[in-house]
Amino acid sequence: MQLRLVLAVVVVAACGDDGGSAIDATPTVDIDNGSCGDQLRFTGELVDWDSTDAMFCGINDADLQGGGAMDSTSPNGRFDLCLPRSMQVTQLDVTPPAGMSACTMQSSTYALPGIAVANQAVILAGGFWSGRLFTSARQQSFFQSAGLVFDQAKAHVLVHVDGPPRGVAITATHGTTQAFSGTAWAAGEIGRDVFFPNVDVGVGGGSTTLNVVGGAIGTGSIPLSPGKITYVTVRAQ
């Protein structure tokens, strides 16, 4: 409830500023566009659910496909592809690798597919895209530790905050929010990565609204799909 009130204050303050604040502006960053020419370079990483800076572990051989482009992640979880500049937001299908995870002691595979949201404004602002995925075994233990039961009929949302950790919220009904501090997961709405489990897709379905306390590039409407994780990166301002 406290986070909702803070968000409401932020929204009201933004609406009352007719001078156009710097928070609302997308900064211009000289990004490395690689060999993408007149297209837009989209690069980032897909890592294990519990990967840290000290114990880093990328997910190898996951596929990302969308906007006429496709790439498979390298052993360090990195991908690199070119997207059309005509699309402000491109949705890419994320297919987990078939092989066993090299990141966990317990043998298990990554099974949950996803939707990667590539936001042109975030890319042009220099935001680094990052996603996380749990193995089937870690999915079970993670949800149990959070006092939740995984619901295949609902969507799931992972928001990566590029920049200082911020409070994150979505408008759709969901289970207890979990936040990653950089070293561990715990219940909360402020973190480097914020996870919304068991998100209600609704009768109309298909989307929810993402908000970030203090302002960020990449907020707004995001897609939802039952049985999938929606991956979103926002650039904190």
User: Domain containing 121: what range?
Assistant: 37-236
pLDDT for position 32: 77
pLDDT for position 105: 87
Number of structural domains in the chain:
1
* Residue of 27 and 147 predicted with greater confidence: 147
59, part of any domain: yes
Parallel, antiparallel or unpaired: strands 229-236 and 155-162: parallel
In the numeric block, which tokens belong to residue 212? 């970030």
pLDDT for position 203: 66
Q: How far apart are CA 12 and CA 172, in angstroms?
A: 20
CA neighbor of 46 nearest in space, from 236, 233, 234, 237: 233
Q: How far apart are CA 199 and CA 186, in angstroms?
A: 18
In the numeric block, which tokens belong to residue 84? 């059309």
In the numeric block, which tokens belong to residue 180? 């990653």
Q: Is the dihedral of CA 88, 84, 119, 164 positive or negative?
A: negative
Which residues, including other chains, have CB under 8 Å from residue 231's CB and lie 6 or more apart? 94, 114, 115, 116, 117, 129, 131, 158, 160
203, part of any domain: yes
3-state secondary structure of 234: strand
What CATH number is given to the structural domain containing 139? 2.60.40.1120
193, part of any domain: yes
Parallel, antiparallel or unpaired: strands 155-162 and 63-66: unpaired
pLDDT for position 146: 96
CA dihedral angle for residue 197, residue 203, residue 207, residue 208, rounded to 10 degrees: -60
26, part of any domain: no
Q: Residue 6: pLDDT band by 50, 70, 90 thresholds? A: very low
pLDDT in tens, 190-228: 999 999 999 999 866 699 999 999 999 999 999 999 999
Q: What is the mean pLDDT of residues 107-119?
A: 97
16, part of any domain: no
11, part of any domain: no
